[in-house]
Amino acid sequence: SQQGEEDPQALSIQEGENATMNCSYKTSINNLQWYRQNSGRGLVHLILIRSNEREKHSGRLRVTLDTSKKSSSLLITASRAADTASYFCATDASGSQGNLIFGKGTKLSVKP
Amino acid sequence: DGGITQSPKYLFRKEGQNVTLSCEQNLNHDAMYWYRQDPGQGLRLIYYSQIVNDFQKGDIAEGYSVSREKKESFPLTVTSAQKNPTAFYLCASSQGQKGEKLFFGSGTQLSVL
């Protein structure tokens, strides 16, 4: 069952611009995580935000969480060509015993 | 180097054959997971294990089997009952049992001959 859904499916920007990706989910969660995947590789954990947090920063990444709207956003500031990858949100539904559910991802292309 | 290792990187299966994908971690993580990824899709959970000698079915366990005899190893067998096995398979591990901050291997691409 797909819980998180990212929007947009694909995003193309120029280097130096900001990139914003959104994630919506359906049920109550304990936390929401964002992962990055380079083509043909495994996923890399970027950031985790808990249900009682509203905003979190890590370097050029900023994540927000709105539990009333069941949505999250990932902002990458001053993007670089190396940021080109797919980005996934994953939710840990309350009572799921650690079973993460991933969305289909946003494919980000940053052009030099 | 600590990490999670999947092998092989590419695997081909003949019809009616069982194949086993290897996943080993030296991070001393309690939990391990197997996900399947189809093109343009998200990850779907096949099986997960939170402790040695115990594992649970995920959303798409039919046609797959696993074992967790050692903490560091969680092999996945794709059986002949899995009629559409072509996909990218990802193994992951996490400290604790809450599914926070998963570490992923580099994946195995399985194709049918």
CA pair distance A43, A89, nearest whole angstrom: 11
pLDDT for the residue B22? 98
CA distance B24 to chain A (A): 14
Whether B92 sits inside 8 A of A43 (CB atoms) is yes
**Residue pLDDT, tens place only, A16-59:** 999 999 999 998 888 999 999 999 999 999 999 999 999 999 99
Residue-averaged pLDDT of chain A: 92
pLDDT at residue B38 above 50?
yes
pLDDT for the residue B2? 66
Name chain B contacts of A92, Cβ cutoff 8 Å: 98-100
Whether B100 sits inside 8 A of A31 (CB atoms) is yes
Per cent of chain A over pLDDT 70 is 91
Residue B105 contacts A where some CB pair is shorter than 8 Å: yes
Name chain A contacts of B95, Cβ cutoff 8 Å: none
Whether A41 sits inside 8 A of B106 (CB atoms) is yes
CA distance B93 to chain A (A): 11
Q: How many CB atoms lie within 10 A of CB A88?
A: 26
Phi-psi sector, A81: left (phi>0), alpha (psi -120 to 50), beta: alpha
Single-letter amino acid, residue B74: F
pLDDT for the residue A1? 46
CA pair distance B45, B67, nearest whole angstrom: 15
Closest CA to A103 of A50, A33, A52: A33
B42, B50, B90: residue with CB nearest A104 = B42
Q: What three-state secondary structure class fits A18?
A: coil
pLDDT for the residue A24? 94
